[in-house]
Structure 1
Amino acid sequence: MKKIIIKYIANTITDQELETLRLWLKKENNQETFDEYIKASYDIDTVMNKPDLDTAYKKIRHSIDTEKKSKFRILPVWSRYAAAAVIVFMFSYVYVFYNKEQPVEVLNSFVTVVESGVDKATLTLDDGSNIILEAGTVYNNKTVASNGEEIIYKKEQETIINLEDKVEANKTESKIAYNYLTTPRGGEFQITLADGTQVWLNSETKLKYPTVFKKGESRQIELVYGEAYFDVSSSKNHHGATFKVISNLQEVEVFGTEFNIKAYKDEASVYTTLAEGKVAVSNFAFKENLKVGQQSVIDKSTGKINVKTVNIYNETAWRLGAFSFKNKTLKEIMKVLSRWYDIDIVFENKELETIKFNGVLNKKMTLEETLNSIKRSSNLNYLVNDTKIILK
């Protein structure tokens, strides 16, 4: 239910999930659960003075009971009690930023609409050939199928026991084929591996994996770069075989769980956040076991591992159709937006880089809508120059 509540807040809930939430809220004892989760996840007490959670609860109940079912819609009034006063359309300052006179030539408008990212990726087969995956395209071969929104590998087959086929089977097993799935800037994609593990790839991400996993051996894949969320098929379903994710500077050993790894090439650190279960993070010199809600941070320059407690939603909201920023600098936010909208963002005014914000943005908004939502609570202005946005 937490995931469904998050998707409702992020404005990405499906009709079926909306009905599930409506029925769940009919039970009186769920009101307290709902209130406590909203308060814990979005720090309401630090955003507003004496928030009226009872009123907020009644508003969401009324909204769900009366609204026409629709996947994307304007959030109801109750959302102002969540992350940052108005959860999607407004940001709140963490620092005070002093206004300066703005240049008159700044237009703050786009000649053409810069749409949000979409489902798209490139599948690279073992022979080096590339297959473009995107909405409206269908691809199938003997091991994999894609409908343009996700790619699914066929489940592992039982070992052939026929004596005549045994030698050929051993030859095949010794030559495991590896594929790559790569999302560009402005793209994301979902994949189901041969063992049933699900992986969501964020923008500008590359994943290497076998088309099948050898029985009795650890299931190993590689996050070459980028960010991905993993929902790993339990080792109990694979004769105890563990699951490992290799990425820049680290190895994550998994025992059937959900976690997020962010390992972008232009980031100074590698981040691993545990959402469910347990994982062990190692950089081959040190090893840390993470608990749910903890994040390991490996500094690329020193190799040192630090572990801290984080808000899981803030770190994984991108998978659920939203960006959640808690105490993030404008520079960090713009790095995320540049990947998602496939556009370069330049700070002409360097003082803007260190301003910090709290807020949640729907990933389906256009770039202009996103920038304007930030601009309304700051003195941010921007100039559009072809594929570059200059922040003034």
Structure 2
Amino acid sequence: MKDNIYHLIEKYLAGTITPAEEAQLMAWYQDHNQTDVEWPSENADEEEQVRLRMLLRMNQQINTPVTRSGTTRRLWYLSAAASVLLIVGFATYFYYTQIHRSTRPAVIARDVKDIGPGGNKAILTLANGDKVVLEEAKNGLISQQGNTSVNKTGSGSLLYNKEAGSTAASIVYNTLSTPYGGQYQMTLQDGTKVWLNAGSSLRFPASFPGNERNVILTGEAYFEVAKDNARPFFVTVNAGSGAPMTVRVLGTHFNINAYPDEQHNIVTLLEGAVKVGCGQANALLAPGKEAILNRTSGKINIKDGDTEGAVAWKNGYFLFENEKIESIMRQISRWYDVEVSYQGDVSGKAIGGSLSRSKNVSEVLNMLELTGTVHFKINGRRITVMP
């Protein structure tokens, strides 16, 4: 079997593989999608070269213009195979480049200070305007907000607790803000858990004494809303020039991506049910669906959602599925707190794959360069993207 697969790989790289043989090779990749691939070679260096060469060739085929007739399935097939290579090959790529860095040219000049990934960073603005830099705050009680205590836990998250036996108090609002290069997790007074992505903010009451639970989001957050049939939970989001977008839930898990620099607000439902509204437009989501709000027109479109991709940031990685390079770089800009500029035309270029958010930016850019789609240059905290 190994000899046959190796023979197919060589034919694929040489461009002499038949359609039937190519289907066999792609099926072999799909069969190994969930486990480490046993490469048909005993030499680690040779295995890595095979990975990289196949990745680049697949990328060339994926991005080759073709007619629509009879090609949709083939393009999807190649894209899936290339994504497998991106996922299973990059770990070995790093091992290889760390050992052989002197023989392999680096994408990023080594005299430029590398930029590390983001981390748990946020600022909590209290009702009186005081600001608490949470990564510098000690664990334990941070503040008393009305009848609610605000605590920083040992795991580096915020916890709001209503004091036992306390009477109703006037509503006071706090705001949790993450900078570029930051993310944070908190538990609201009602037990709802919220994860904030980089460059985001959540305004919320320290406690929820009324018949509704209302918060205001800018940017991106993942919610696990505590169930309370008597008190619906509302998330209000800016929707551009029109009316704000509202998401109404009772108890459910969902992600909202509503960055001001994106063309769309996207609500992806993982569990339960949510109602999304904006002006006269309304939509009810079922699990696995997502609502896409056009920030210009105010129209809402419902489609099958990519639930794994929607929460990839929360789980520590980027997940791109034929995603435009401009969208990818906006995500990188937020997480690494870098400025992005473009030199030359990269519009229409797309990349698929999974990348860890724990890597330095140079490593991430090296991986993206391996697709042969784009190239990068770093100068301080500015990344220039080139064809």
* TM-score computed with the length of structure 1 as normaliser: 0.70
1:76 aligned residue: none
In the aligned structure 1, how far is the partner of 2:336 from the partner of 2:123? 18
- Write out per-residue CA displacement over residues 173-195 of structure 1, whole angstroms, 9 at most, x where no aligned residue: xx201000000000000010000
Within-5 A mapping of 1:63-78:
none
1:182 aligned residue: 177
Change (3 A) 1:300 1:287: same
Alignment partner for residue 253 of structure 2, among 254, 258, 277?
258
SS at match of 1:220: strand
Q: Which runs of 5+ in 2 are unaligned?
A: 1-21, 38-79, 92-105, 239-243
Contact 1:246 1:252 survives alignment (8 Å): yes
Within-5 A mapping of 1:181-260:
181-215=176-210, 217-223=211-217, 225-236=218-229, 240-248=230-238, 249-260=244-255
Measured after TM superposition, the shift of residue 366 of structure 1 is 0.5
Contact 2:349 2:373 survives alignment (8 Å): no
Contact 1:331 1:354 survives alignment (8 Å): no
Q: Which amino acid aligns with 1:255?
A: L
- Count of residue pairs the alignment pairs up: 297
Alignment partner for residue 354 of structure 2, among 360, 375, 383?
360
Contact 2:177 2:199 survives alignment (8 Å): yes
Within-5 A mapping of 1:1-392:
49-51=26-28, 83-87=83-87, 90=90, 108-110=108-110, 111-134=112-135, 137-138=138-139, 140=141, 141-142=143-144, 143-147=149-153, 149-155=156-162, 157=164, 160=167, 169=168, 172=169, 175-215=170-210, 217-223=211-217, 225-236=218-229, 240-248=230-238, 249-350=244-345, 352-378=346-372, 380-392=374-386
In the aligned structure 2, how far is the partner of 1:202 from the partner of 1:338? 12
Contact 1:188 1:200 survives alignment (8 Å): yes
Measured after TM superposition, the shift of residue 49 of structure 1 is 1.3
| Greater displacement, 81-90 / 309-318 | 81-90
Contact 1:88 1:362 survives alignment (8 Å): no
Higher relative contact order (CA 8 A, sep 6+): 1
Contact 1:90 1:376 survives alignment (8 Å): no
Q: Which amino acid aligns with 1:109?
A: A
1:37 aligned residue: none
RMSD of the TM alignment (CA)? Answer: 2.7
Q: Which amino acid aligns with 1:314?
A: G
* TM-score computed with the length of structure 2 as normaliser: 0.71
Measured after TM superposition, the shift of residue 108 of structure 1 is 2.6
Measured after TM superposition, the shift of residue 385 of structure 1 is 1.7
SS at match of 1:339: helix
Measured after TM superposition, the shift of residue 81 of structure 1 is 7.5
Give me the identity figure in percent. 32
Q: Which amino acid aligns with 1:129?
A: D
Greater C-alpha Rg: 2
SS at match of 1:51: helix
